[in-house]
A and B are shown apart, each in its own frame.
Chain A
């Protein structure tokens, strides 16, 4: 199992000013802990499931920038149709990472369908993504990231994570978050 915060920290080390869309709940908490001062982070406080769609829109509008989405298993299961839209448009600059701990961790650990029969990599391939990977260890995550960040996408990376707590809390003003993120994008 991968520790989500450790993996988030490693991801940040590999990036410069690429925009990151972080889904509501623990993906954004750990992104804030890993990179509090980083301006190109977009923190979602709700609209569960929309991270994949926001990332797709940004990737299509800014083909010059690699766009990273940090999603969760519960969130992507809520917007599975977005995978079909993403695969059909297939922007080469889209990197969609899904932290999959097979549970709704933030609400008490109730199992999601990936705890049972659902497999997100297979769903992504079925939706039309040609490049989709699943990793279970930190070493495999690092190796996958090296490949993903050096080769054209779009990429889906499902990382099987544990349920370590995520105590970080980003700013709570949506407009502040948006303005800081857009300022970073304009400068980039």
Chain B
């Protein structure tokens, strides 16, 4: 399983040194791959929305950040994206661990799983989906470049096809 390590090296290659996150089992694997590298600064969030503010402040200070969260967390971010990051043109990567699609065991994740791409589209946020490890360099690297070119947040979605799903029924 190379994808967590590949993600970490792509972040580093693109000067993204600050990781703001609400963990889940997928994000946790990325954190584990990054935790020993002193290059990264980690901020544990209490709610995803504050990550938009923190990354905005870091950007003002010359530091590039990524927001790592589960798809459900996007629902907690909507107004901060709509009224801060997008109109003030704050570029950053949102790395979203997908729930509610392939292999979901929890009905309470399914509605957001169906809605969240359309939420991104309603906000005008470009989003790209990674299903296979060999797509990471193109999609993640390309999305980061587009975020900084457009000075806008861009989302990359890690699906269960890439990361697997829980055995639970």
Contact = CB atoms under 8 A, between A and B. Distances in A.
B88 A178 contact: yes
Interface in A12-60: 19, 21, 42, 44-60
Contacts, number: 114
A89 interface: yes
Given A85-B43, A89-B43, A175-B89, A47 B83 contact: yes
Interface string B31-43: 0000000000101
Contacts of A137: none
A61 B53 contact: no
A46 B50 CA distance: 14
Nearest to B46: A81
Given A46-B84, A177-B88, A82 B46 contact: yes
A46 B84 CA distance: 7
Interface stretch (B60-68, B113-121, B130-138, B155-163): B60-68
Nearest to B17: A61
B125 to A, nearest CB: 16
Interface residues of A, number: 39
A174 interface: yes
B98 interface: no
B52 interface: yes
B47 interface: yes
Given A53-B53, A79-B49, A175 B88 contact: yes
Contacts of A50: 49-50, 52-53, 56, 80, 84
Contact of B58 (A47, A51, A61, A85): A61
Interface of A: 19, 21, 42, 44-62, 65, 67, 79, 81-82, 84-85, 88-89, 174-175, 177-178, 181-182, 185-186
B41 A53 contact: no
A53 to B, nearest CB: 3
A42 B55 CA distance: 15
A58 B84 contact: no
A63 B163 CA distance: 37
Given A57-B57, A60-B18, A61-B58, 11 more contacts: A21-B57, A44-B84, A46-B83, A47-B80, A53-B51, A57-B59, A58-B57, A60-B61, A82-B50, A174-B89, A185-B62
Interface in B83-115: 83-84, 87-90
Contacts of B46: 81-82, 84-85
Contact of A53 (B54, B63, B87): B54
25 contacts: A21-B57, A45-B87, A47-B53, A47-B79, A47-B83, A50-B84, A52-B53, A53-B49, A53-B57, A54-B54, A57-B53, A57-B55, A57-B56, A58-B60, A58-B61, A60-B18, A60-B61, A60-B63, A61-B60, A79-B53, A82-B50, A174-B88, A177-B88, A178-B90, A185-B60
A173 to B, nearest CB: 9
Which 7 pairs between the two chains have the least Cβ-Cβ distance? Answer: A57-B57, A53-B53, A61-B61, A46-B83, A58-B57, A81-B46, A47-B84
A156 B125 CA distance: 35
Contacts of B52: 47, 50, 53
B53 A56 contact: yes
B60 A53 contact: no
B44 interface: yes
